[in-house]
Structure 1
Amino acid sequence: MPETRFVVFRGILDICADLKGDLYEMGQMSYWGQMHVASTFGFLSSDKVLADPQIQKLLSSDEHFDLVVLEHFFNEPLFIFPYKFKCPSVTIAPGPMTVFTNHLMGNPAPPSYVPTILADYGIHMSFWQRMKNTYINLLGDFFVHFELLPTMNNMLQKHVPDAPAITDIIYNNSLMLLTSHSSFGNPVPLQPNIKEIGGHHILPPKELPKDIKDFLDSAKEGAILFSMGSNLKSADFPEDKKKAILKAFSKIKQKVLWKFEADLPNKPSNVKIMKWLPQKDVLAHPNVVAFISHVGLLGTLEAVSAGVPILGLPVFWDQVKNIDDAVGKGIAVKLNFFELNEETFDKALTEVLKNPKYRANAKRRSQLMHDQPIKQMDEAIFWIEYVIRNHGAYHLRSSAVNLKWYQRYLVDVIAFVGGVLVIVLLIFYKLMGVLFGSKKSDKHVGKSKKNN
């Protein structure tokens, strides 16, 4: 691609490695702690990007661009790019809308029926779950406006001293593309400039490497794919969990293809380990009957596309919500990673393998994903070009982005009404005091006259 210029940032993956311990502990943290760890990755990576000499040179140049495309994950300072180049921006969010993206787009998310990304429940919430959901949403809003944005603004000013306040540039985004999809996620309000393109990365399956193909072809009783993604590594599992998993695998007839990043001694004969494998293509193999996963969104959508049921081992962040959504749709069995032992893993694995409802529901969800008028990647391309053609497509933007946070959440209105009610009650109290005080005085005067 002769017109393409790449700027490679060294050390971004090192940030993931440094946070690896926190990632396994994240699921047991408070909600505030989870927000802090997730935002730390975005802060450190944004800091590294803006500190790069190539980026500093680019920002001070007079180059022209028609559009800036940004992935959004706690990297608000990078909105300096569309501001500097005086062009519209499109963001790609790695998941559904959250409290951390809703404020950028002025998108409503009533906590009465829209579960937060940190929820451990589905859309049908009880009273106490709605209370909890409201609390987490308010906590997230507080984190965004009083912790995240001030911190990000300080970092932006450090690298770009002439930059405006961060709140003056982050709300000019033209379009947000979500990597979620209606076949798996929940129906929630979305503004006209927010589009779901989940599954855009799923292409027709390629031919598998010979060793993997032979292994799966020979799995007459079916095969299981086991992968914890790229950030979480199976090799980092505690020893007791590795032993419990291997013991359970030794009891089944199915073959297991396990993405494992180190040597694994004493593994059963039906288990094949690989440090890397083409996950999407493996899931598309007809002999694959289950997917053991951390339930990251992209991998989950790959399983939905292939019609493969899931045994979910959620650890942190959106994984907990993803597995609850999958369980609610009847395509998965949930096993909390921190509760994994030989008994619980064996029970969950047996359920997903032997109960036919999971595969039937997974096939139904696959049908829904593919029953679309346009491919997800084509839709993404259309809307990106639409933004360019229509000079930012600002007619699609919600007017909510022009409001201060206290106006958007009606804090000023509630405060005014509350103040008026307090004043009315005080006036009423004073009037009652005067009225009853006057009657007491009249009675006292009457008694005095009788005594005289």
Structure 2
Amino acid sequence: MNSRLSLLVTLLLLTSGAQCAKILAVFPMGAPSHYILGSTLLRGLAEKGHDVTMISPFSEKTPPKNGSYRDIVLTGVKEEHEERMKTMNVFDMGEANILLMGPLFFTTMVDLTDRTLGQPEVQKLIHSGEKFDVVIVEQFMNEAHKGFAKHFNAPLIVFSTIGASSWVNPLVGNPTMVSYDPEPLRGFSSKMTLYERYINAFTYSYFQLISHLYAYPQHDKILKKYFPNNMNLVDIMYNTSLVLLNSHPSTNLAVPYVPNMIDIGGFHVKPPQKLPDDLQKFLDNSKEGVIYFSLGSNVKSVFLPEQKREAILNAFSKLKVKVLWKWEEDVLPGQPPNVRLGKWLPQQDILAHPNVKLFITHGGLLSTIETIYHGVPVLAIPIAGDQKLNAERIVNQGFGLKLRFADLTEELLLEMINELLTNPKYATNAKKRSEVFHDRMAKPLDTAVYWVEYVIRHGGAPHLRIAGIDLSWYQYFLVDIILIFSVTSVIVLYISLKLVKRLVSSCCRSKKQKIKTK
């Protein structure tokens, strides 16, 4: 009996070991919101018993109890990001010319990609001889980081923080529909005017040109600089096994997907936790309702221009409802009595409270997802990046309004707040959108873990790869067929015209001969 029990335990241990995979993830961005997504995914995988290694500018303060979680911290990246956010006027970025900002984004990411791979701890990992079963790379103009998958002979999974877009679609041959799918940095709706479709198509073409003529050659050089075996960027990029998308039809535009693109939007949202006692008491006692105001983790409220801050304070002072404001300092000059401050606030748990009637936000994707999860109406004041696009979706889906930061005045802000608080359609639409969000076969984090394990089980899942990804660009877009058709049409037209001309000439000669005989 004891021998049978020992055999059973041994078999269970062997089975468990076989199911444990070694996973490497690369999330190089210095913004906390990017790390939240990466760490949530990696914690979920570790909790399933996997051995995970995370390359990022942050370290995990409370590692998961199951599996194994290892940090390789990129020194200086987070600090540089914080300093850049302090020195640059982020509130003017929303009005900046995208065509001028585009090259800056690309050069910044080329530099970050290079410095990431050059860090001693990363180089130590590259030359360690370790083995990994899969590599997950955040997609953010950091193409050379995909070299980890080739180097460790592991399947490549790409994680897109903003869902499907022209930034990730080419990797797996997914179509980019510029006629109704706005570029990430353009704040257009899906129902674009003729002019907007022109601008959208031009922006798409412009960024594709920068990518192919500048960014990809630079990343190819970085690959050869830091990885052995003389890798080729194109071969690596288009050998993507799976794309995990931080999106869902409840939060993003419905667009076509190829089989190896999977929605997991909202996977970072957790069920409501108990609030701190003082905050719980404040929300419970605010029977007239509460407005929650936060500009996110990157944009600091304390850096608001004085004129805009005064306009916001004056508008808040005229409200009957309470306001909970994420303010990063101890004192807010001119603070009205109905406004409560907090340097850090548990946003997800606050949005879950029934007395929160409105969320005033910068329109970041994580904040947008969280407010949809809890069914709270929104006033979006987009500042930069994809926030304009998110704000436009909020308006289109009917659960909020948007206010251009440049247009923000006391009167307009107060008017929009009162509209959102008094018109029940916004709360109704927010609840409907929340119902769509929650109506899934499985929890999004479980879906993410399943598909990562699926790729591992099936050796990169090549059966999910569409045939179009193996075609050259001229074959994919039927350029050769169009040329053949065009040349053939011209030849047929030429021959037809010649025949008609001969026929007409012959008829004319026949008529002349008949006239002469008469």
Match of 1:322 in 2: 390
Indicate conservation of the 8 Å contact 2:160/2:243, yes or no: yes
One of 115, 123, 127 as aligned partner of 2:182: 115
How has the CA–CA distance of structure 1 residues 348 and 40 changed in structure 2, closer, same or farther, with 3 Å as cutoff? Answer: farther
- Counterpart in the other structure of 1:204: 271
State the partner residue of 1:150: 217
Q: Shift of the alpha carbon at 1:22?
A: 6.3
Which amino acid in 1 is paired with 2:212?
H
Residue 8 of structure 1, aligned match among 73, 89, 92: 73
| Whole-angstrom distance in 1 between the partners of 2:90 and 2:462 | 38
Alignment partners' CA distance in 1, 2:74 and 2:238: 26
- What letter corresponds to residue 224 of structure 1 in structure 2? I
Q: For residue 190 of structure 2, what is the amino acid of its counterpart?
A: I
Whether 1:280 and 2:348 are equivalent positions in the alignment is: yes
Look up the SS of the partner of 1:327 in the other structure: helix
Distance 1:247 1:422 in 2: 70
In 2 relative to 1, CA 239–379 (structure 1 residues): closer, same or farther, beyond 3 Å? same
Residue in structure 2 matching 1:48, options 101, 104, 115 = 115
Q: In 1, Cα distance between the equivalents of 2:256 and 2:194?
A: 21
Match of 1:221 in 2: 288
The one-letter amino acid of 2:132's match is F
- How far is the alpha carbon of 1:15 from its aligned partner? 3.6
- CA distances 1:78-113 after superposition (whole Å, capped 9, x unpaired): 111110110102121101211111111211122223
The number of aligned residues is 438
Q: Deviation per CA, 1:311-362: give whole Å up to 9, x if none.
A: 0011222111111111011011110112212222222222212211111100
Matching of residues 245-260 of structure 1 within 5 Å: 245-260=312-327
How big is the alpha-carbon RMSD for the aligned residues of Structure 1 and Structure 2?
Answer: 2.6
Query: Counterpart in 2 of 1:445?
Result: none
Specify the alignment match of 1:387 in structure 2: 455
Partner of 1:303: 371
The one of 163, 168, 176 aligned to 2:243? 176
Report the alpha carbon displacement of residue 18 of structure 1 after superposing the two structures with TM. Answer: 4.7
Task: List runs of 5+ in structure 1 lacking aligned partners.
Answer: 440-452
For structure 1, which segment, 407-416 or 163-172, has the greater mean C-alpha deviation from structure 2 after superposition? 407-416
**Matches of 2:384 and 2:479 in 1, distance apart?**
32
Question: Which residue number corresponds to residue 253 of structure 2?
Answer: 186
Q: Which runs of 5+ in 2 are unaligned?
A: 1-65, 506-518
Matching residue of 1:348: 416
The answer to whether the Cα contact below 8 Å between 1:180 and 1:297 also exists between their aligned partners in 2 is no
Deviations 1:123-155 (A, max 9, x none): 223333333322222223222222221222233
Question: Once the 2 structures are TM-superposed, how far is the Cα of residue 41 of structure 1 from its aligned partner?
Answer: 4.5
Normalising by the residue count of structure 1, what TM-score does the alignment of the two structures yield?
Answer: 0.89
- 1:232 CA drift (Å): 1.3
Question: Match for residue 83 of structure 1?
Answer: 150
1:266 aligns with 2:334: yes
Note the 1:366-385 alignment, pairs <5 A. Answer: 366-385=434-453
1:363 CA displacement: 0.6
Instruction: Output the amino acid matched with 1:5.
Output: R
The alpha-carbon deviation at position 418 of structure 1 amounts to 5.3
How far did residue 284 of structure 1 move?
0.5
Q: Secondary structure at the match of 1:95?
A: coil
CA 1:296 to 1:134, structure 2 compared with 1: closer, same or farther past 3 Å? same
Distance change >3 Å, CA 127–CA 43, structure 1 → 2: same
Structure 2 distance, partners of 1:140, 1:164, is: 24
Distance 2:480 2:302 in 1: 52
Deviation at 1:198, TM superposition (A): 0.6
Which whole-Å CA distance do the structure 2 matches of 1:258 and 1:411 have between them? Answer: 56
Distance, in Å, in 1 between the alignment partners of 2:398 and 2:389 is 14
| Counterparts of 1:171 and 1:236, CA distance in 2 | 42
1:352-386 C-alpha deviation (Å, 9 max, x unpaired): 12211111100111111111111111111111111
Corresponding position of 1:242:
309
**Higher RCO structure (Cα 8 Å, ≥6 apart):** 1
Distance 1:326 1:286, change over 3 A: same
For the residue of structure 2 that corresponds to 1:243, the secondary structure is helix
Name the % identity.
41
**d(CA) in 1 for partners of 2:84, 2:204:** 25
The separation in 2 between residues aligned to 1:147 and 1:30, in whole angstroms, is 20
* Equivalent-residue separation in structure 2 for 1:419 and 1:230 (angstroms): 58
**Contact between 1:46 and 1:75, CA under 8 Å: does it hold in 2?**
yes
Shift of 1:406: 4.1
Distance of aligned partners of 1:132 and 1:419 in 2 relative to their CA distance in 1, 3 Å threshold = farther
Cα gap change, 1:424 to 1:164, in 2 (>3 Å):
farther
Q: Which amino acid aligns with 1:36?
A: P
C-alpha change, 1:75 and 1:249, in structure 2 (3 Å) is same
What is the CA–CA distance in structure 2 between the aligned matches of 1:272 and 1:208, rounded to whole Å?
A: 15
Q: Which moved more, 1:296-305 or 1:13-22?
A: 13-22
Decide whether the 8 Å contact of 1:15 with 1:45 is kept in 2. no
Letter in 1 for 2:350: V
Aligned partner of 1:165 in structure 2 is 232
More divergent stretch after superposition (48-57 vs 244-253): 48-57
Distance in 1 between residues matched to 2:346 and 2:200, nearest whole Å: 37
Larger displacement relative to structure 2 (13-22 or 85-94): 13-22
- 1:65 and 2:152 equivalent? no
Would you say the 8 A contact 1:280–1:302 is kept in 2?
Answer: yes
